Chains A and B, each alone.
Chain A
């Protein structure tokens, strides 16, 4: 059946009960066979089967046995598979000849890339990858970058969606790795959603929450969001916070909990360090001050604190409202603080979910395709680097570890300055998704920058490429990926890719072979040849680290369904990954991102309570640009619509951009619902029809998916000092009726 609304029919359940199954299915013809996979159109990791007839995908169904979705389908997955068969798929490599992209063969395209790579120094080569490839692709890319070429310039677009999640987990708990589990929804008595519009970003997780809300003894719900999202409408307490002030709210809430004694002092003493500093910092945030900074009613803040303080099993989820805003890491860390202070971590219903934005974001973090060292290793710990050098049998000096890895925004800056001269972009569309697109186009147009784009469709970014590599996608290649609650899924190849399109792994393996990367014994550096052997190499790399995959084999995944690494929950014994020899970071100062030296590290298995002061955002609305822009998502589209925009059943729900305004602002500007509105920032301007709906006054919302009138024409190049995640949710803008 096809859900009649995005979240379908309810299957209510009581606390502690298993979530009832509901098997969603949508086929256009009867499949001859079903092929196992998981969703690649959001980060929830729903288990799915692809229905195949001949060499065609003819439908999907949810996997009833899967722990993540129990058979349900996200509306994007019901129809999104149709994009695979779009007639405009890239099917042949393209190269630029006399200024035009023309078709060529793989040998010519790859030879050009290899020739250019060989002309350049390692520091002149950068990689900007995706949150939508598979684990095996990322690990291979990471080995090519770190042990083959030896460049620190590698990151994913996951920097835009998930970097703060990783940074916050490392800061508080010592390494990356999600503490909680989706099954915490089954057990909790309170759910706090911090800047997380889960109804639209992870629709199936929202179904789970709604099913608890409709069952007996439902959990209380708190939503912090400047918009009246479906989550905010469902919540018992909604705080429509002023964008850019999350940290002030968090500090204020922690102060109330501490002052009222709604904390677990014995847990704090046994399992954390830093309580004195934290108490000193948050004590400067009495409710009245917080109410003023955040523009919230004091009674609402008090109610939120009572809800958090009274919870016996508190589940928090955090996403872009925190991650893409001001003081992102400090605010996400404050949610970790809340759980540590209350001793609400590592037991059923008591957990933190620092969410991911993209389906395979987790794997960029694990494998090091986001620049980190693979296996959550610490670039500043020589013994961790030595482990990798031994594993790959290369010199330690080859592996860049003299500084933190180059984050995406810095990679683009080096390209802008001309010191990165080859940029290989895989599976992403930065000409729509990065902030300040006019600047991004200028960089991609530089004549001295050799741009390789590996994708499945022509995009705004392929237009700037020197070489375009046609890739296979989900359903056309085999590999694994891991969701936000550490659930690993196997995604099997169901059909052949179109034309000459190749699996991303095969493209990277071909590059490694042509570059003839060797280890110290003179043997090929990359010893694997397909997805399963790449996975086996990754298993060896992950052994003994928090994300140890050695117990999760293709055989166990095949026929079964998703399996979690690390067990259902991490830190069940209150012992964290902070020991100096084991941790992924020696810590960063939260206001500047300054990396702390090993000599100052005091990690001993206790978690860190870290606090810092709220400071006003760098761009605040003023006379010229009086309103605040936040960008975001709709449930019907994913990312820059390269897939969902090609699926009529999805696209028709949200075919083009719009802007959400509060009625009072619209009234003052003489804008009626449906009027086309011009939105201008110091960087650019777009036009979009107005929707007068639930959003706080003074704030406007534009979904970021649409290339034609892209919200990122307006956004500012600026990022969180710790996670380096761009701040998409705080541009100052002005709004007027178009043509006026």
Chain B
């Protein structure tokens, strides 16, 4: 059963998103809304990632070796200069989208296993991720005309 690997992937994706949120927030700290909401959401990502621990442990006993190329790296550090903010937010969006898909797939497995405790964690995590996606998309849409036309 490969679920433990996907839980690991999700855990790592949430942690990576948390780290990237903090880094982008710090790099663009003069955009004070982005800095403060990024920090807040990073904390939420970390908390939710840690709530996956007991499930990863429980299912790891039945897991075969980790498959190749399970993890991918979507973030290579924050940028500076023109369009930096938009490009960095776009990175965050793609990272949150990876979490979103992973929550959906782990949720499917939780249902198949009738693991209600895992289902609860998944639905809370998926809801948080969808808020992050909504926020990032909205913030990029707001910033885009100014950045692309007169920035």
Chain B residues within 8 Å of A618, by CB: 36, 39
B150 touches A594 (CB 8 A): no
Whether B33 sits at the interface, judged by CB under 8 Å, is yes
Indicate whether A718 sits within 8 Å of B36 (C-beta atoms), given known contacts A402-B145, A413-B31.
Answer: yes
With A615-B40, A717-B32 given, is the CB distance from A591 to B146 under 8 Å?
Answer: no
* CB 8 Å contact bits of A423-451 with B (1 = contact, 0 = none): 00000000000000000000000000000
Residues from chain B with Cβ under 8 Å of A597 in the complex: 134
Contacts of B41 in A (CB 8 A): 592
Contact with B along A110-154 (1 / 0, CB 8 A): 000000000001011000000000000000000000000000100
Over the window 33-59 of chain B, the binary record of Cβ atoms lying under 8 Å from chain A Cβ atoms (1 yes, 0 no) is: 100110111000000000000000000
The listed residue (A416, A419, A721) touching B146 by CB distance below 8 A is A419
Expressed in whole angstroms, the Cα–Cα distance for A123 and B32 within the complex equals 21
Among residues of A, the one whose C-beta sits closest to the C-beta of B31 is: A413
Min CB distance B129 to A, Å, is 12
**A589 in contact with B135 (CB, 8 Å):** yes
Q: Is the CB of A593 within 8 A of B150?
A: no
- Whether the pair A121, B150 counts as a contact (CB closer than 8 A) is yes
Q: Does A595 belong to the interface (CB within 8 Å)?
A: yes
**Measured between C-beta atoms, what is the minimum distance from B27 to chain A in Å?**
15
Q: Is the CB of A721 within 8 A of B37?
A: yes
Query: Which residues of chain A from 391 to 408 have any CB-CB distance to chain B below 8 Å in the complex?
Result: 402-404, 406
Q: Of residues 132 to 151 in B, which have CB atoms within 8 Å of A's CB atoms?
A: 132, 134-135, 138, 141-142, 144-146, 149-151
* Nearest-neighbor residue (CB-CB) of A419 within chain B: B150
A591-B150 contact in complex given A403-B141, A721-B33, C-beta closer than 8 Å? no
CB of A592 within 8 A of CB of B131, answer yes
B-facing mask of A297-314, CB < 8 A → 1, else 0? 000000000000000000
Q: Once A and B bind, how many residue pairs between them come within 8 Å at the CB atom?
A: 64
For the complex, give the distance between the alpha carbons of A417 and B132 in Å: 26
Residues of chain A contacted by B144 (CB below 8 angstroms): 403
Quick check: A403 and B142 within 8 Å, CB to CB? yes
State A417–B146 Cα separation when bound (angstroms).
Answer: 11
Q: Report the minimal beta-carbon distance from A726 to chain B, rounded to whole angstroms.
A: 10
Q: List residues of chain B with CB within 8 A of the CB of A717.
A: 32
Asked if A414 is at the interface of the complex by the 8 Å CB criterion, the answer is yes
Residues 595-619 (chain A) with a chain B CB within 8 angstroms? 595-597, 615, 618
Question: Taking the nearest CB of chain B, how far is it from the CB of A159, in angstroms?
Answer: 13
B65 an interface residue at 8 Å Cβ cutoff?
A: no
Which residues 695-740 of A have a CB within 8 angstroms of B? 717-719, 721
* Chain B positions within 8 Å of A595 at CB level: 134, 138
Q: Of residues A592, A597, A719, A721, which shows the largest number of chain B Cβ atoms within 10 Å of its Cβ?
A: A592
Show the binding face of A for B, using Cβ within 8 Å.
Answer: 121, 123-124, 152, 402-404, 406, 409-410, 413-414, 416-417, 419, 589, 591-597, 615, 618, 717-719, 721
Additional pairs, 15, CB under 8 Å, beyond known A413-B31, A419-B151, A719-B32: A123-B146, A402-B141, A403-B138, A404-B142, A409-B32, A410-B142, A417-B151, A419-B146, A589-B131, A591-B40, A592-B37, A592-B131, A592-B135, A618-B36, A618-B39
Query: A-contacting residues of B (Cβ < 8 Å)?
Result: 30-33, 36-37, 39-41, 131-132, 134-135, 138, 141-142, 144-146, 149-151
Complex A-B: 18 CB contacts under 8 Å: A121-B149, A124-B150, A402-B145, A403-B144, A403-B145, A404-B138, A406-B142, A409-B32, A410-B142, A413-B30, A416-B30, A419-B146, A592-B131, A593-B37, A593-B135, A596-B134, A719-B33, A721-B37
4 cross-chain pairs, A with B, having the tightest CB-CB distances, nearest first:
A594-B135, A594-B134, A592-B135, A403-B142
